[in-house]
């Protein structure tokens, strides 16, 4: 048991070392870890400030209020710390679902060809042409999109078509590669070929699209909140943005922190996810590792 | 035949040395370090002569060829040496040419024929556009004259000129494309042609027609040519002199017969013994053990020593320079006389 | 009984106007332990034939027999045995290995999957043995390497070692040394020859390089293909030193030789046309007739010549010239 644990620790160590070969990517990775820590663990240490303090409206950053205060005198920093969790959960759920659908069916379509491919492509094209925003509007009217998991699932269910096409064309070209043919000659089995020969060679695509799916979901939910389609309670970053916007917070020097902070938080999250992919690439594609 | 003699510019089998390389070194800067692709190469190319640069991967032959016309990638740099070009009594230092003068030099004085891969062409323009663009970008504006000349040259390379000139690259076969590239290289009447693997990737019968065409260029038009290839056979067909390159240096230089029948460098000998002939009886072949060196981390002394059956301590410590081993024949080896002795017991004969 | 036999095998690609007959009515047999070379230029169908022999492509017509049995009619177990018995080595060292796997993974996977060894330790041991057989020594140094860390020649050896994991009886080498440095080719070929001698592996060696074919298959046979058909075959010695089919003669005369004296004295065979027919629009009768210097009007463009045996050994598909010897060197 101990050796299994040790083995796991060693591979994590090795993986981290490989990721560190790309400085920028590793910085992104650290940033992501930090944001995760801040948004999931942080709230236990930095409780949400819900007390209205009329005398402290729109205070600039200070020792007391690291990021200033909002239109009700509430501390912005605590809102940032507490408001990221929902955003990230929606992003991860949406990203994971999109990627899962795209990779599974994209590889299947590319590898199997024929009828299977034709059916999958037709469905993809149909979903691709669905206008997302009107659909979300309609859904918002019909069901309460309050629940972050549901929102994540819906965004995920809409975001996979373009990724699937990319994965499919990768699978098509990989299918022709000599080493895949050799695997067939060696009778290694279809499952093995798909998951051990083809998919590992697509990891860069997969990682990047996972990242993009997440960033897309983040924008989508912020947009939804901004348009008032999703009446979130609480104060996630999207809500903060929406409230700040509605109050015209950008027009005043003092209130600008209220709108800039959630924007900054979102931007930092997006950037970290995207830059992290550079390090992840190194893990999955041995050829990119210099000095290995 | 006389028609084609009129077509190309008067290249009399003249005297003179159109191209001289002196101590040229070229380095690629990569993340892993400096790749010493070409090290201290000196060469004189005589008018009407064809020299083959023979080497395998990592020998530096292609880099050297690109270096002469200064078509190296940005990460490569000529770190030492001179390249001098002469025509009609003028002398030009090629490495010092500025952008405009360089454009004049390339194609008008010295042009390059690349491998006939499809990506040597712009796929969305016709052959005529390619020729006109090339001519115009080198200062020739007269469209009618360019068209005339292009047709002449396409005919010279034995293509159906009227059909080919308006075709797209993908409509032509590999052999036809190679001929177009040769015609293109002749467009501005250069004195020197550099051909990089001109027949690799072509089928045998097509290859033969290209070789015959190049022979025609050499024998009838007296072009001065540099062939870059890993294929000894094409050197045997077309070259007057051969330079074998290893790890960025010329290790042997001599006439075609000297190289094939009287080599003095162990690498040259190894190459010749590794290449089979088609015609004739069975011959034993021998490969060279080991593999080419890492150009970032070259071994000490003679770079070939790890693979050389004649290597001694001296070879591990000192790198030999080219020295004369016969009339107009040089080799860079401390033990060339051992190679000579070996060939006295086991001579290299022609199979003919 | 031959190990592998092709009977009237044809393979077509595409439909309608785009229909290409890549392999046209090809028949040959290879005995156990033998070496057969398929030579020809690009588009002649040799690679396609190789894949059909290896069971990676189905013929449109005709039969492939393994140990006398039609492979399309084998039951699952027998087909599996056939699949293991026939392996393929590809041309491009840069595409033949999975870039995301180490040499260890590449070699041990088939060993473990097919239970050729007992456990991981057994697989490790056997992998080392195989690497040594293909002259990748010291084997330990190679186990953890990724393909991009190996040279072209080394990758090809890994490909061979991988093929050997299933103890094949037959190997199809499709231009296996064409993309490797000249000085290394010979050692790869010698390694393959050793496999033939020591383990009695039968070879189908596909190449466009006649000189290599002659060297590797000197004790074996050569089949010359043109536009999907076999035009000549026979013992290598006979085909190379006394070719009868005009195409074979043209090929042998056209090959550049690494020997200036020989290059000067080789007989030049002029073809009537430099145009290579497209597979979409084959000439009638003998497909070589538009280029053939011995073309007989009314005959060569009308009847498809069949392979006929000659007393000197092998078959020639040219009734006009099959009994005429020529000099290749003047």
- Rounded to an integer, the average pLDDT of B110-119 is 78
> What are the residue boundaries of the structural domains of chain B, listed by start?
2-8+16-239, 263-345
Nearest neighbour of A179 by CB, restricted to C55, C80, C97: C97
What's the Cα-to-Cα distance from B285 to each of B276, B352, C187, C222, C239, rounded to whole Å? 7, 17, 9, 19, 20
| Domain-embedded: residue C303 | yes
Q: Which residues pair with C178 in a beta bridge?
A: none
The residue of B172, B205, B261 whose CB has the most chain C CBs within 10 angstroms, and thus the best one to mutate to test that interface, is B205
Task: Please tell me the distance from the alpha carbon of residue C116 to that of residue C130, in angstroms, as a whole number.
Answer: 13
| Domain-embedded: residue C54 | yes
Task: Please tell me the distance from the alpha carbon of residue B84 to that of residue C19, in angstroms, as a whole number.
Answer: 56
Low-confidence ranges of chain A (pLDDT < 50): 291-292
Residues of chain A in Cβ contact (below 8 Å) with chain C: 177-179, 181-189, 192, 196-197, 200-201, 203, 284-287
Whether residue C256 and residue B158 make contact (CB cut-off 8 A), yes or no, is no
Residues C292 and C160 in one domain: no
Half-sphere exposure of B47 (CA within 13 A, CB side): 17
How many Cβ atoms from other residues are within 10 Å of residue C154's Cβ? 21
**HEC per residue, chain A:** CHHHHHHHHHHHHHHHHHHCCCHHHHHHHHHHHHHHHHHHHHHHHCCCCCCCCHHHCCCCCCCCCCCCECCCCCEHHHHHHHHHHHHHHHHHHHHHHHHHHHHHHHHHHHHHCHHHHHHHHHHHHHHHHCCHHHHHHHHHHHCCCCCHHHHHHHHHHHCCHHHHHHHHHHHHHHHCCHHHHHHHHCCCCHHHHHHHHHHHHHHHHHHHHHHHHHHHHHHHHHHHHHCCCCCCCCCCHHHHHHHHHHCCHHHCCCCHHHHHHHHHHHHHHHHHHHHHHHHHHHHHCHHHCCCC
Residues C199 and C319 in one domain: no
Whether residue B287 and residue C187 make contact (CB cut-off 8 A), yes or no, is yes
Nearest neighbour of A201 by CB, restricted to C54, C88, C100: C100
Residues 10-69 of B with CB under 8 A from A: 31-32
| Domain-embedded: residue C301 | yes
| Contact residues on chain C for B288, CB-CB shorter than 8 A | 183-184
Average model confidence (pLDDT) for chain B? 88
Q: Are B332 and B265 in contact (CB under 8 A)?
A: yes
State the pairing for strand pair B224-229/B50-54: parallel
CATH fold for the domain made of A2-288: MetI-like fold (1.10.3720)
Task: Please tell me the distance from the alpha carbon of residue C19 to that of residue C280, in angstroms, as a whole number.
Answer: 7
Least confident range from A163-167, B228-232, B252-256, B335-339: namely: A163-167
CATH number at residue C123: 3.40.50.300
| Domain-embedded: residue C258 | no
DSSP string, B252-317: EEEEHHHHHHS--SHHHHHHHHHS--SSSS-----PPSS-PPPTTSPPSSSTTGGG-TT--HHHHH
Q: Are A76 and A70 in contact (CB under 8 A)?
A: yes
Whole-number pLDDT of residue B314? 93
* Interchain CB contact of C92 with B (< 8 Å): no
Question: Which residue in chain A has the smallest CA separation from B32?
Answer: A291
Question: Which residue in chain A has the smallest CA separation from C146?
Answer: A286
Per-residue pLDDT tens over the stretch C7-37: 999 999 988 888 889 999 999 999 999 999 9
| Contact residues on chain B for A291, CB-CB shorter than 8 A | 32
Q: How many percent of chain C have pLDDT more than 90?
A: 69
Average model confidence (pLDDT) for chain C? 91
| Domain-embedded: residue C279 | yes
Whether residue A187 and residue C97 make contact (CB cut-off 8 A), yes or no, is no
Per-residue pLDDT tens over the stretch C283-325: 999 999 999 999 999 999 999 999 999 999 999 999 999 999 9
Please indicate whether residue C190 or residue A78 has the higher confidence score (pLDDT). C190
Bond prior to B259 in cis (omega within 30° of 0): no
Residues C120 and C44 in one domain: yes
The residue range of the domain holding C309 is: 263-330
Whether residue A286 and residue C87 make contact (CB cut-off 8 A), yes or no, is no
Residues C236 and C269 in one domain: no
Q: Which residues pair with B51 in a beta bridge?
A: B226, B241
Nearest neighbour of C109 by CB, restricted to A178, A188, A286: A188
How many Cβ atoms from other residues are within 10 Å of residue B196's Cβ? 19
pLDDT exceeds 90 at position B323: yes
- In this structure, chain B runs to a length of 352
Q: b or e along A1-20 (b: 16 or more beta carbons within 10 Å of the residue's beta carbon)?
A: eeeeeeeeeeeeeeeeebbe
Q: How far is C327 from chain B (nearest CA, A)?
A: 10
Whole-number pLDDT of residue B15? 67
Whole-number pLDDT of residue B202? 84
Starting at the earlier edge strand, list the strands of the sheet with B76-87. Answer: B33-45, B19-30, B76-87, B90-93
Residues C36 and C115 in one domain: yes
Instruction: Tell me the pLDDT band of B201, cut-offs 50, 70 and 90.
Output: confident
The one-character DSSP state at B121 is S
Question: Which residue in chain C has the smallest CA separation from B270?
Answer: C183
pLDDT exceeds 80 at position B244: yes
The one-character DSSP state at B138 is T
Whole-number pLDDT of residue A3? 63
Q: Are A89 and A207 in contact (CB under 8 A)?
A: no
Q: How far is C90 from chain A (nearest CA, A)?
A: 7
How many Cβ atoms from other residues are within 10 Å of residue A253's Cβ? 8
A&C contacts, CB < 8 Å: 68
Task: Please tell me the distance from the alpha carbon of residue A74 to that of residue B265, in angstroms, as a whole number.
Answer: 85
pLDDT exceeds 90 at position C59: yes
- What tokens appear for C304 in the block? 């498809």
Burial class (CB in 10 A: 0-12, 13-18, 19+), A176: exposed
Q: Are C318 and C57 in contact (CB under 8 A)?
A: no
How many Cβ atoms from other residues are within 10 Å of residue C198's Cβ? 9
Residues C170 and C298 in one domain: no
> What are the residue boundaries of the structural domains of chain A, listed by start?
2-288
Q: ∠A109-A115-A116 over CA atoms, to 5°? A: 30
Task: Please tell me the distance from the alpha carbon of residue B240 to that of residue B253, in angstroms, as a whole number.
Answer: 11
Instruction: Tell me the pLDDT band of B223, cut-offs 50, 70 and 90.
Output: confident
Please indicate whether residue A256 or residue C211 has the higher confidence score (pLDDT). C211
pLDDT exceeds 80 at position B213: yes
Whole-number pLDDT of residue A2? 62
pLDDT exceeds 60 at position B11: no
Whether residue C218 and residue B211 make contact (CB cut-off 8 A), yes or no, is no
Instruction: Tell me the pLDDT band of B305, cut-offs 50, 70 and 90.
Output: very high
Q: What CATH number was assigned to the domain covering residues B2-8+16-239?
A: 3.40.50.300
Residues C288 and C229 in one domain: no
Please indicate whether residue B295 or residue C163 has the higher confidence score (pLDDT). C163
Whole-number pLDDT of residue A64? 75
Q: Are A221 and A269 in contact (CB under 8 A)?
A: no
Please indicate whether residue B140 or residue B325 has the higher confidence score (pLDDT). B325
Torsion of CA B70, B73, B75, B76, to 10 degrees: -40
Q: Are B228 and C252 in contact (CB under 8 A)?
A: no
Please tell me the total count of domains within chain C: 2
pLDDT exceeds 80 at position B4: no
Whole-number pLDDT of residue A135? 79
Q: Are C82 and C66 in contact (CB under 8 A)?
A: yes
| pTM over cut 0.90 | no
Whole-number pLDDT of residue A144? 67
Instruction: Tell me the pLDDT band of B8, cut-offs 50, 70 and 90.
Output: low
Residues C218 and C284 in one domain: no
Per-residue pLDDT tens over the stretch B13-30: 556 888 999 999 999 998
Whole-number pLDDT of residue B88? 82
Residues C68 and C197 in one domain: yes
Task: Please tell me the distance from the alpha carbon of residue B190 to that of residue C270, in angstroms, as a whole number.
Answer: 31
Whole-number pLDDT of residue C62? 95
Residues C156 and C193 in one domain: yes
């Amino acid at each position: 048991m101990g050796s299994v644990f040790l083995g796991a620790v060693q591979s994590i160590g090795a993986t981290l070392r490989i990721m560190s070969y790309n400085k920028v990517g590793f910085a992104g990775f650290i940033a992501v870890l930090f944001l995760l820590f801040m948004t999931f663990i942080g709230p236990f240490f930095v409780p949400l400030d819900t007390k209205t303090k009329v005398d402290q409206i729109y205070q600039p950053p200070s020792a007391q209020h690291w990021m200033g205060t909002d239109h009700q005198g509430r501390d912005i920093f605590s809102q940032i710390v507490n408001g990221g969790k929902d955003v990230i959960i929606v992003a991860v759920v949406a990203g994971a679902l999109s990627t899962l659908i795209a990779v599974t069916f994209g590889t299947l379509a590319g590898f199997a060809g024929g009828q299977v491919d034709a059916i999958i492509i037709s469905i993809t094209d149909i979903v691709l042409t669905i206008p997302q925003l009107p659909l979300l509007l309609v859904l918002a009217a019909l069901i309460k999109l309050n629940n972050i998991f549901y929102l994540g699932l819906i965004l995920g269910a809409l975001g996979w078509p373009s990724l699937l096409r990319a994965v499919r064309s990768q699978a098509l070209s990989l299918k022709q590669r000599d080493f895949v043919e050799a695997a067939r000659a060696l009778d290694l089995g279809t499952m093995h070929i798909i998951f051990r020969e083809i998919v590992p060679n697509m990891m860069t695509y997969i990682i990047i699209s996972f990242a993009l799916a997440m960033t897309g979901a983040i924008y989508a939910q912020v947009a939804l909140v901004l348009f008032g389609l999703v009446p979130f309670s609480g104060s996630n970053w999207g809500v903060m943005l929406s409230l700040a916007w509605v109050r015209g917070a950008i027009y005043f020097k003092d209130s600008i922190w209220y709108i800039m902070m959630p924007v900054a938080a979102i931007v930092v999250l997006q950037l970290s996810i995207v830059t992290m992919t550079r390090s992840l690439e190194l893990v999955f594609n041995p050829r990119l590792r210099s000095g290995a | 035949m006389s028609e084609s003699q009129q077509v190309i510019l008067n290249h009399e089998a003249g005297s003179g040395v159109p191209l001289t390389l002196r101590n040229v070194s070229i380095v690629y800067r990569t993340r892993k370090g400096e790749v010493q692709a070409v090290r201290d190469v000196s060469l004189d190319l005589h008018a009407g002569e064809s020299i083959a640069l023979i080497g395998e991967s990592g020998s530096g032959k292609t880099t050297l060829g690109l270096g002469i016309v200064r078509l190296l990638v940005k990460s490569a740099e000529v770190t030492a040496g001179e390249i001098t070009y002469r025509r009609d009594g003028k002398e030009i230092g090629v490495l010092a040419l500025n952008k405009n003068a360089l454009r004049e030099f390339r194609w008008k004085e010295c042009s390059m024929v690349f491998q006939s891969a499809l990506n040597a062409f712009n796929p969305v323009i016709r052959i005529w556009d390619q020729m006109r663009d090339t001519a115009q970008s080198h200062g020739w504006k007269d469209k009618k004259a360019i068209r005339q000349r292009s047709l002449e040259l396409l005919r010279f390379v034995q293509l159906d000129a009227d059909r080919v000139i308006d075709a797209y690259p993908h409509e032509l076969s590999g052999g036809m494309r190679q001929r177009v590239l040769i015609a293109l290289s002749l467009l501005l009447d250069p004195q020197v042609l550099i051909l990089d693997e001109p027949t690799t990737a072509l089928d045998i019968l097509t290859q033969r027609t290209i070789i015959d065409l190049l022979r025609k260029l050499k024998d009838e038009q007296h072009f001065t040519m540099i062939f870059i290839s890993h294929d000894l056979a094409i050197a045997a067909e077309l070259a007057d002199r051969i330079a074998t390159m290893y790890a960025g240096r010329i290790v042997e230089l001599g006439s075609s017969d000297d190289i094939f029948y009287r080599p003095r460098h162990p690498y040259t000998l190894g190459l010749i013994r590794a290449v089979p002939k088609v015609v004739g009886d069975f011959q034993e072949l021998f490969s060279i053990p080991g593999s080419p060196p890492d150009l970032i981390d070259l071994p000490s002394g003679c770079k070939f020593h790890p693979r050389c059956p004649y290597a001694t301590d001296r070879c591990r410590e000192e790198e030999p320079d080219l020295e004369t081993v016969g009339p107009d024949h040089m080799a860079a080896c401390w033990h060339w006389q051992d190679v000579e002795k070996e060939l006295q017991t086991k001579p290299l004969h022609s199979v003919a | 009984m031959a190990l592998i036999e092709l009977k009237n095998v044809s393979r077509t690609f595409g439909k309608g106007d785009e229909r290409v007959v890549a392999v046209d009515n090809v028949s040959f047999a290879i005995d156990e332990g033998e070496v057969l070379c398929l030579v020809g230029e690009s588009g002649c169908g040799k690679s396609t034939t190789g894949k059909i022999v290896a069971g990676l492509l189905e013929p449109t017509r005709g039969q492939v027999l393994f140990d006398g049995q039609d492979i399309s009619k084998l039951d699952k177990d027998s087909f599996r045995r056939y699949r293991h018995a026939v392996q393929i080595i590809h041309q491009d060292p840069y595409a033949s290995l999975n870039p995301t796997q180490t040499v260890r993974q590449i070699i041990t996977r088939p060993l473990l999957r097919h239970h050729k060894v007992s456990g991981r330790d057994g697989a490790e041991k056997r992998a080392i043995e195989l690497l040594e057989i293909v002259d990748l020594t010291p084997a330990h140094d190679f186990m953890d390497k990724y393909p991009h860390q190996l040279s072209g020649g080394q990758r090809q050896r890994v490909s061979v070692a991988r093929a050997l994991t299933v103890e094949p009886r037959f190997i199809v080498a499709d231009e296996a040394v064409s993309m490797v440095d000249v000085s290394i080719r010979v050692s790869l070929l010698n390694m393959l020859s050793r496999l033939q001698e020591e383990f009695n592996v039968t070879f189908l060696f596909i190449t466009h390089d006649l000189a290599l074919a002659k060297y590797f298959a000197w004790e074996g046979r050569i089949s010359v293909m043109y536009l999907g058909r076999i035009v000549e075959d026979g013992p290598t010695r006979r085909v190379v030193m006394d070719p009868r089919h005009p195409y074979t003669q043209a090929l042998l005369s056209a090959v550049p030789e690494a020997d200036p004296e020989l290059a000067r004295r080789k007989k030049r065979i002029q073809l009537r046309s430099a145009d290579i027919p497209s597979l979409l629009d084959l000439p009638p009768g003998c497909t070589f007739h538009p280029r053939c210097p011995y073309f007989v009007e009314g005959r060569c463009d009308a009847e498809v010549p069949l392979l006929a045996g000659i007393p000197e050994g092998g078959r020639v598909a040219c009734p006009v010239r099959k009994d005429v010897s020529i000099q290749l060197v003047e």
